[in-house]
Structures are given as C-alpha cells and as structure tokens.
C-alpha cells in the first residue's frame, strides 16, 4: 500500500484515544485541539435522507428497462453533483455485513498491548495507529485506525494480520471479495453513465489495488474541539464505507461550501468518488472533501474499502471525455506515483490532487 519512508519520521508521542477516553481527562490534550477555523460546528440541522442520493443497486442489475433508466440517471446525478451516494440492495449478505462489523469492533476492544502487536510504522498506512502523521506538532485525529492491504497479494503484510479476534482474517477476506465485486459492478454502471463501454475501467485497471481500513471513534467530552478524521478526498477510484449499526452520525461531506452530515441508512453502503476517477473523467465526476466528527456520548465504527488501479497503470483523462469545450485538466502519471504522493502527505482537503492538475497560465500580456 505505502512505500517505506526513506528517512525516519519523528511524530512525537501519540496518545491512544481509547485509552484517553478510559482515563476521562478533564481537558483534551493540546495535540487534538483544532485551530478555531478547523473546529466543527455541531449544532446544525440534519438534512433529510433524500438530500444525499440513494441508489437502489438491484434496479440497475435486475430492474425493468424503466427502472434501469431511472436509477442510471440518479447515479449520474449522484456522481456529478454530489460525488457521494448511498447504495441499498447492494447484494452483499446482511450476515456478512454484521460479521465484519463484529470482528472490527472486537479488535478495537482488545487490550492496548494486544493491538500494539500490529503497529502502524510512521509514514506507512498499514497496521494499528494513526496514519498521515508526519511531524511532532501536527494536530491529531480523535480516532484509532487499523488498516490492511488486501489485493494484489504482494501488498499484504502477513505480520499485521491479527490472530485475535478469531476468524478476523477469514471474515476480512470474504467481505473484501464481495466488496471487490460490488466496486467492479458499480464502475460498469458509472462508465455507462458517461457514454463509455461498460468494461472500460476493469480493462484499464489491471489487477486492481484494494485496501481496507477500520476506524474507531470513541466518544469525546469536547466534540466541538476535535475532529475524528481531518478533511480530505480519497486517492482511490471508488471508496466503499460501511457505518457501524447504531453508530453516531459522524461522516460529513463538503457540499456548496457547507459541511453536510450523512445520516446512515441501515444496511446501506456509502460510496464516494476518489481522486483517480476525477482524473479519468477529466473532472466531470469529482472527488469530494469529507471529514468525520465525534460525539459526546456515542462511539462510532466505520469500515472503509479503497479500490484503485494497479500501481503500474498510467492514468490521465480518458480521450472520450476531452474535447475543445472540455480541455485536458490533468497530466498523465502512474497510479503508483500518485499513491506514493498521497500517503506521504498529511490529509489536507483536496490539496493532494494538485499533483495531477495541469497548471494553466491565465495571465494576459
């Protein structure tokens, strides 16, 4: 998943937020307290569920011609206007959804010394800890992470696969295979909304890279001062998010310069467009900045799958989506180059995507 840093990275002391929560400190440690302009405004009205598009996947796959047409238009609108949507009737067995949630929660509830057997080394993104921390004074997220490379096999680090809880590895493998199928199918329908042939992404991606990250956000006594996860867009082509059953509302997306909370729908999966798909579609479908906030009393669990092209694949806007009215907005590069750039920078909105953008000189003589 991530290259090993060429020189040691000094990240300073990083408190484990679950241990902090147990200790119930009267004040939040300074490294977690955000600057005023970054602090979340929590007293905002929740939008109605209809605000964030909902895609009924079974209508795309098995629906009538009219059902397919309606759902396809909704998918195109979701990708173009939101970059985020929730998928219902996605075909992944409910018992598997429950199983992955259970093993993830059970892992985070293990004693700290057990979890620390699988450490996330500074500058890498596999293992247990906090990713995207590169300095001793960087603000930290109120979150514990556990991440693993899944596909292709060479990105796996067997030393980081836990033996507890039992059936952890088996459950992650079965779940990941099902999510992989869903990503492949979703990309077919997304391609067709662009007027492209259904298999164009699958043919282009090679052996797609897939990783999973589990995030645990304990309650926080001052949710107005911290962030669960810093604002960022994803470097993937597609991201699939499963939100824990009964979790607090934590995911927020930046829409029209306002942070909009995503109200979880039971058994639905949240899908978002990553930077890679923005580049491939020449900006027609854009990745969207999102973040996580915390709750004073409730914890939150999320399970995230990242799906992206093979590292050696060269990427750039697809020729079918470039013309006089839509000039090429992004340069060509390999996905491996972009991945290295992404994981060696802290999460900072959509700043990482500057790597791919073509800078145009707009000044006049």
Please give the pLDDT value at position 7.
55
Please give the pLDDT value at position 8.
67
Q: Averaged in consecutive runs of 10 residues, what is the pLDDT profile of the chain (365 residues)?
A: 56 85 83 89 54 92 92 95 94 95 96 94 86 83 95 94 94 97 97 95 95 95 92 94 86 90 89 96 95 92 96 94 92 91 76 82 51
Please give the pLDDT value at position 1.
46
Burial of 73 (0-12, 13-18, 19+ CB in 10 A): exposed
pTM > 0.85: yes or no: yes
Please give the pLDDT value at position 310.
96
Residue 21 lies in a domain: no
Domain range for 207 is 48-356
Pairing of strands 144-151, 209-217: antiparallel
Structural domains counted in the chain: 1
Burial of 33 (0-12, 13-18, 19+ CB in 10 A): middle
Residue 174 lies in a domain: yes
Please give the pLDDT value at position 364.
46
Please give the pLDDT value at position 358.
86
Distance of CA 327 to the CA centre of its chain: 28
- Any bridge partners for residue 290, and if so which? 232, 253
Count of beta carbons in the 10 Å neighbourhood of residue 113: 7
Please give the pLDDT value at position 136.
81
Q: What radius of gyration, in Å, describes the C-alpha atoms of the chain? A: 20
Q: What is the CATH number of the domain that holds 68?
A: 2.60.120.330
DSSP annotation of 54: E
Residue 194 lies in a domain: yes
Token pair of 202 as six digits: 């699958």
């Amino acid at each position: 998943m991530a290259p090993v840093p060429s020189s040691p990275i000094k990240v300073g002391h990083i408190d484990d937020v679950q241990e902090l929560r147990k200790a119930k400190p009267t004040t939040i440690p300074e490294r977690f307290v955000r600057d005023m302009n970054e602090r979340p405004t929590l007293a905002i009205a929740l939008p109605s569920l209809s605000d964030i598009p909902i895609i009924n996947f079974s209508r795309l796959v098995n629906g009538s011609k009219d059902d397919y047409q309606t759902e396809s238009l909704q998918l195109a609108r979701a990708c173009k206007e939101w970059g985020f949507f929730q998928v219902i009737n996605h075909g992944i067995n409910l018992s598997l959804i429950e199983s992955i949630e259970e093993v993830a929660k059970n892992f985070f509830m293990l004693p700290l010394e057990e979890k620390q057997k699988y450490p996330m080394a500074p500058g890498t993104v596999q293992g247990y800890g906090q990713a995207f921390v590169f300095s001793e004074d960087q603000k930290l997220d109120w979150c514990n992470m556990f991440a693993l490379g899944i596909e292709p096999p060479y990105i796996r680090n067997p030393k980081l696969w836990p033996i507890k809880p039992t059936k952890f590895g088996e459950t992650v493998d079965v779940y990941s295979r099902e999510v992989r199928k869903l990503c492949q199918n979703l990309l077919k329908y997304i391609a067709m909304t662009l007027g492209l042939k259904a298999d164009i992404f699958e043919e282009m991606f090679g052996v797609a890279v897939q990783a999973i990250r589990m995030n645990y956000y304990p309650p926080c006594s001052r949710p107005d001062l911290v962030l669960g996860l810093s604002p960022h867009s994803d470097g993937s082509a597609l991201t699939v998010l499963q939100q824990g059953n009964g979790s607090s509302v934590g995911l927020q997306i930046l829409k029209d310069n306002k942070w909009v909370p995503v109200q979880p729908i039971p058994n639905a999966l949240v899908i978002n467009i990553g930077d890679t798909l923005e580049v491939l579609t020449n900006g027609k479908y854009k990745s969207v900045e999102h973040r996580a906030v915390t709750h004073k009393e409730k914890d939150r669990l999320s399970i995230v799958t990242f799906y992206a092209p093979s590292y050696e694949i060269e990427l750039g806007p697809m020729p079918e989506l470039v013309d006089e009215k839509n000039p090429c907005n992004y340069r060509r590069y390999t996905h491996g180059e972009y991945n290295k750039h992404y994981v060696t920078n802290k999460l900072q909105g959509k700043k990482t995507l500057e790597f791919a953008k073509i800078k145009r000189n707009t000044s006049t003589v």
